[in-house]
Amino acid sequence: MEHSSIVIAGDFFLHSEAEIQANSFLIPTEFLKSYKVFALNLEGPICRCSDVKPLEKFSALRMEPSIIMILKRLGINVAFLANNHVADYGEEGIVETIEILRKNGIEIVGAGSNIEEAFRPLIFELNKVRVGLINFTTVFTLQSRATAGKAGVAGVRMITNIKITPYELFEEPGAPYVVNAEPFQEDFELVIKNIRNLRKDVDLLITYVHWGIGALPFSSIILEYQRKLGRILIDVGSDLVIGSHPHILLPAERYNGKLIIYSLGNFVFSHKDPRLIFSEVGGILSLDISEKIVKIMPICLDMRGFPGLCKKPYEKIHDLSSFISRSEKLGVRIEELGGGWFALL
């Protein structure tokens, strides 16, 4: 049975197909193949990159070309590429990633051979409904950003501001809320222009943003700039805003009748780094394009970073119960539907 819904997941990273074979990897989401559109954030390049040195950065990721078989097996047909890792092996890595994905029938959004292509929306039709996807990132290295003559990601550069208030500074030194950020106006104007232009041509517009903080405990915080950008994206025409990068399922907010889901967390994430702490809870989003009903299925990742249905009641899973309670405080009613799904009302 083919569904009239779009399914969207969070971050995907798996170094090679051998990881799955060696660990008898079985993802309990075979039903996802029945959805015509299944999209996720591809957290790293798919490339051989044998003669390419990775960028000098905190953490450089790469996936072997064999991973494309896993993506096809899962039914993935759209890859969001605007993030802080897909350019870890430079232009060569991005170009090879795009080539491999397109050769295997997977559409891309959020990266390209130049800045125009990187920011270009993806448009498709599903059950006579025209859907537009926009993807950009606020977290990336400057050399990863696409320019007029260079391949890269759709990056919106940010200005970090430090707010110095004597009372806060001395009573709570180092507190994260004394730091704020705002986008380079010229970069964000490009996003706004694309959304407004796309709004004229589609019935449903989804914006997928890589933003926030990438590891616990700070990744559980919704930064002030995320709140501001999310609301602006709704105001200028987005029907739904979805976040990634924090590697934790963050709450949903109801704003002007539309939803902002601040992070879907991880979908598959086998990368381990002793310097980083990730949540074991993520979410798979389903959007019925006809009725515009948004549902979420919580997933729990095992020690290998592979997803499965959560076995404990949600009340006993801290990150899941936190998602529900925080979402309700932000104006979203959560209704359990059965089969692992929750409606975001």
Say what the pLDDT of residue 113 is.
96
Closest CA to 73 of 104, 45, 94, 42: 104
The pTM is what?
A: 0.94
Evaluate if residue 26 carries a pLDDT over 70: no
| Residues 207-266 pLDDT 10s | 999 999 998 999 999 999 999 999 999 999 999 999 999 999 999 999 999 999 999 999
Cβ(283)–Cβ(29) below 8 Å? no
Average pLDDT of the residues of the chain: 90
Q: What is the model's pLDDT at position 19?
A: 66
pLDDT at 28: 52
Q: What pLDDT is recorded for position 27?
A: 52
pLDDT at 2 over 80: no
Domain ranges of the chain: 3-344
Is the confidence at residue 20, as pLDDT, over 70?
A: no
List 192's β-bridge partners, or say none: none
Average pLDDT, integer, range 31-50: 88
Token pair 């000098």: residue = 56
Q: How far is 198 from 209, CA to CA, in rounded Å?
A: 17
Beta bridge partners of 39: 8, 78
pLDDT of residue 24: 46
Phi, psi of 299 (to 5 degrees): -130, 150
Compute the distance between CA of residue 30 and CA of residue 50 in angstroms, rounded to an integer: 33
- Cβ contact 54:48 at 8 Å: no
Q: Which two tokens stand for residue 274?
A: 């002793």
CATH for 3-344, options being 1.10.3470, 3.60.21, 3.20.20, 3.40.50: 3.60.21
d(C-alpha 272, C-alpha 63), whole Å: 14
